[in-house]
Every structure is written in C-alpha cells, then in structure tokens.
Amino acid sequence: MRSYLSDRMGAALLMAPLLLFLVLAYAWPFFGVVKWSFTLPTPGLGQYEALLTDDLVQSVFIRTLRIAAVVTVVSVAAAYAITVVWVRGTRAQRLIAEFCILVPFWISVLTRAFGWVALLSNRGLINSWLQAIGFISEPLALVRNEFGVIVGMTHFLIPFAVFPLASAMRSLDDRVLLAARGLGSSRMRTFWTVFVPMTRSGIIGAAMIVFVFSLGFFVTPAILGGGRSVMIAELIYLRIFQSPDWGLGAAISVVLVLFVGALMALLFRYVRPKQLI
Amino acid sequence: MPTYRPGPASLVIAAFVALFLLLPLLAVIPVSLTPSRMLAMPSGELSLRHYRSLVEDPRWLQSILLSIRIGIVSSAFSTVLALCFSLGVWMFQPRFTAALVGFVLLPMVVPPVVSAITLYFLLTSISGFSSFFGYDTWLGVAMAHSVMTVPFATVLMLVSLSQLDRRIDLAARGLGASVWERATRIIMPNIKFGIITAALLSFVLSWEEIGVTLFITSVNAITLPRLMWMGLRDNIDPAIAALSVILIIITVLVLAVRSVVVRQRGAQ
C-alpha cells in the first residue's frame, strides 16, 4: 500500500500550508473578535443587549437594510438590461456592452466613488451645468446623503449582478423563444412571459449577491454618505477607531456574519454555486 | 449564434445603463484639468498642475512604490499557497474536499468589514511581539492582503485544473513519475495560464485593496488607496482626479491588450 500512504501524505503536505495559514491568520483572530464581543468592556451579553436597545444601532441597521433593498432592485434591473445586449446583441453591440461592464468592474472602488463626487457634489459637473443653463439657482443636494450612497453603490454592484444573469441567459435554449414567436406571441410578451421567467435562477443569484455585498459595504457609503448616512460597516469602523467601543463593534460584526451566513444558506437552496459565475 | 436579438426598447434602456456606468469615469477627466486648488470644473483655461503634483509630491511616489512592494510580496505568497493547495486537491482528491475548499473561500464571502476587524485583531496581537511585523507595518499589510486574495487565486487555479485532462497525469504516474515530477513537469506547465492569471489578479486586488487596509494602517504603511482615501475624506484634492485618469487609462489599455491576446489564443 505504498502509493496509498504516499498519496495521503502528499495531499496533506501540499494542502497544509494554506490551511495552516488561514487557521492562524483568519479563523483564530475571528474567534478573538467573537471573544471581544462577549468580554469588552465587561464580560457578559451586554453588547448584544445594546444592539437590541440602542437607538443609533437600530437606525443604522434599518437604514442599511433599506439601502441594500433599493440598491438590489435598481442594480439587478439595470444589469438585466445591459446583460441582454451583452449576451444576445450583434457583434458590435456585444463589444460595446462588454467594454461598459468590464472597465468599471476593474477600476478601483475609490476612483469610482470619486467620479461620483466629481459629478454630484455642489461644485460638481451636474450642479455646475444645471446652474450654467439657469435651471436651478442653488446647487441640488445630490451627495452626502442617502441618494449619493445609493447611486454609488448601484454603480459599483451592477457588474457583479451581470455575471450570474449572463450565465443564466447563455444557457437558455433559443428554440423556446422561437417557438413562442412562432405561436404568435409578440416580442414584448415573449420577453416577459418566456425569457424573464427562464432566467429566474440568474435573477435570484444576482439579487442575493448584490444584497449580501451591500450589507457589508464600507468605502462607497463612507465617501458618498459624508458621515451622514452611516451604514453598518461604517458603524463598525467608527466603534473601533473613533469612540473606542471594541465590544460593540465586534458584536455588530458577529451579527453581520450570522445574517450573511443565513442568507447564503438560503441562496444555495435555490441556486447552485456554478450558476453564479 | 443567438437568433433572438434585443429589440429597440432593450437597446435604449441598455444604452442608459451603459452611460450610467461610464459617466463617473468620464467625469474625472475635466476635474483633473482644473487650474483650481479645490475640486471644481475648469472654467476657461486648463492646467496640468495636478498631474505635475503627482510627480513632484513625494508622498504619491512613496505610496505607489509601497503598494507595488506589498502587491508583489502578497501576490507571490498567495499564488504559491493557492497553487500547492489546488495541486493537493486535484492530484489526491482527499475526503472533505468540499469543506476544505469552502473554508479557503471564506475571506471572499465574509463581508469585507468583518475580515477587516478580524485582521485588525490579528495584527494588533502580533504587534505585542514584533515591531516590524504587525499593525501598521508593510509586512503586516502584505500578509493581510494575502488572506484576502488567496481565495480568488485558489478559485482560478481550481478552474484551470478542472479543464486539465487527468489521463496525462495518470500516464506520467504509470510511467513512474514521482509526485514532485508530476506536479512540476506535467501539471504546472499545463495550467501556466491559470497560474499567471492568479498571480496578476492577486496583485491587482492587493493594489486596490482599501477596506481592510483602512483598519490595519495608520501613519507608516500608507498604500496608494490609503493615500487616496485620506485625500477624499478631508479636503478633496484634485490630484486624485489626475491619478484616477491615469489609472483608468491603464485599465482600458490592459483590458484592450487582454482581449486581443484572448482572441489570438482562441484563433490558434
């Protein structure tokens, strides 16, 4: 049984470094954070009690869920529109759509948030232009509020919604659409009653990815919210670095992980992981 | 070939989405050319002063060099670890593979802010023992970035291994090749493209990483995104617009080259 033994040894030796690295550098410190949530500032369940009673924490949770819901609906709808062209357009249309999806996807979140600041701020492109043509006299408040956060997050998350949608649209059998058309269904009706229902798994996958991502989003809300529209992730940051209350920051993190874990479990009951890429 | 094309209504809506996606990237161009010291649209004359300040202000150059150093170290580290792990999974197909791969992918699916506080805990704990490795050190940042990029590298390797024909490995094994020879002379040359892609992706992810970096640096290890963040939070510095324009141009060029290379590989 030489080869059986050496196989097991080989596998163990090859897989051990990464597993060891992640146990030491990720799993162990995560349990450290969990420990913080139960011991700082005083041992007990005080931090979790505070989560349920603190008005600020409550309002941040509700705002985060509200923003995540709006962003999910808007970005999945927008992604759907451009994915249809990316997957089913003519060659030129496909190239243009691909360019518009992949270029923002590869550009850093900071640059993209900054681009929105340049467009939406009081002295930004949109306000300058609207004032120049005399449409408004005072600049519109487009940024440093929930509107700016939703715009920036939607922009960030559209490409992530595109991939599961594209995978669902590519696996769709054209003959079904031709059959619907052949039986006298209009273009609109074919789209809404055949095409969309058949890409349901892609829609569910895209919505889940966008929703989960928005829950833990930090950079875009922090820049475009300007400290006024704080979401969960920024609240954790503030609890760790500004009003040192590590226990509360840790407790929020633990709740966030459990919530996201539950959502993912729900997702994988409906969609196979392969359909998401 | 799809026989079912999007109609005019779809095209119009998709064009609006495309415009929405490109708009903020185009908006930084005029801002980068403003002569003003603050964020503003250029009125009349254009100026390259913000591009000049990128070269003249040593902070930008220092942070670029630091980001490159951290990117290379963390990408090398996570590529090697991911390669060994994926080879182990593919060659030996051990029990519990799904659970082990799932564990490795955790940093990719856990909300980044939770990974950030976790790595903050880790690095502040290490700081108690060591002054050059821990919170706010470049080695600490490189290690944290490796944690965050290693799942992506692993996914890419596993995908390219899954496209490899097992029979060539079985043939090598039957002819008496050792595990080492199979790995280095049979398997690795065949997934070369996957390994290079994993290393590049790890570098790019480390280069742009900000969510975790914010939690684990303060004054010493200022990476480029960290410096941009500082310029965005306080007074908005138009030098960021100049930098953004350069980064956008590089991204477009790289994507263009990549699509040409992919097309040529496809043609072969």
Tokens at residue B260, please? 């040409």
What is the pLDDT tens value at each position of chain B, 268 positions in all? 445 778 888 899 999 999 999 999 998 888 888 777 777 666 777 788 888 888 888 889 999 999 999 999 999 999 999 999 999 999 988 888 889 999 999 999 899 999 999 999 999 999 888 778 889 999 999 999 999 999 999 999 999 999 999 999 999 989 988 888 899 999 999 999 999 999 999 999 999 999 999 999 988 999 999 999 988 876 677 888 899 999 999 999 998 998 888 888 776 6
> What residues of chain B lie within 8 A of the CB of A214, using their CB?
none
Global pTM value = 0.90
CA distance A48 to chain B (A): 17
Contact assignment for B232 to A174 by CB distance below 8 Å:
no
Contact assignment for A110 to B208 by CB distance below 8 Å:
yes
pLDDT in tens, A143-169: 888 999 999 999 999 999 999 999 999
CA distance B186 to chain A (A): 16
> What residues of chain B lie within 8 A of the CB of A96, using their CB?
18
Ranges of CATH 1.10.3720.10 domains, chain B:
61-223
In contact, B229 and B214? CB cutoff 8 Å: yes
- Rounded to an integer, what distance in angstroms lies between the CA atom of residue B191 and that of residue B108? 23
CA distance B85 to chain A (A): 4
The fourth-level CATH superfamily of domain A47-276 is MetI-like (1.10.3720.10)
Which SS3 state, helix, strand or coil, does residue B38 take? coil
Contact assignment for A240 to B215 by CB distance below 8 Å:
yes
Per-state percent for chain A, helix, strand, coil, to nearest 5: 80, 0, 20
Substitution target from A3, A9, A91, A110 for chain B, most B beta carbons within 10 A:
A110
Q: Return the CATH class of domain B61-223.
A: mainly alpha
For chain A, the average pLDDT equals: 88
Longest dimension (CA), chain A: 86
Angle, vertex CA B148, rays to CA B143 and CA B153, nearest 5: 105
H or E segment to which residue A23 belongs: none
Query: Which residue's entry shows tokens 């496909």?
Result: A94
Q: Report which DSSP code applies to A143.
A: S
Nearest to B103 among A22, A29, A264 (CB): A22
In contact, B56 and A148? CB cutoff 8 Å: no
Q: What is the ipTM of this complex?
A: 0.90
Q: Is B258 exposed, middle or buried (0-12, 13-18, 19+ CB in 10 A)?
A: middle
CA distance A271 to chain B (A): 16
Query: Which residue's entry shows tokens 């249309």?
Result: A93
Tokens at residue A135, please? 């449409």
- Rounded to an integer, what distance in angstroms lies between the CA atom of residue A204 and that of residue A221? 24
Helices (H), chain B: 8-32, 49-56, 58-92, 97-109, 112-127, 138-162, 166-174, 179-181, 188-190, 192-208, 211-216, 224-233, 239-267
- Rounded to an integer, what distance in angstroms lies between the CA atom of residue B68 and that of residue B142? 10
Nearest CA in chain B to A109: B208
- With helix as H, strand as E and coil as C, how does B221-262 read? CCCHHHHHHHHHHCCCCCHHHHHHHHHHHHHHHHHHHHHHHH
H or E segment to which residue A185 belongs: none
Tokens at residue B249, please? 């141009």
The answer, for A174 touching chain B at a CB cutoff of 8 Å, is yes
- Chain Cα centroid distance, residue A57: 21
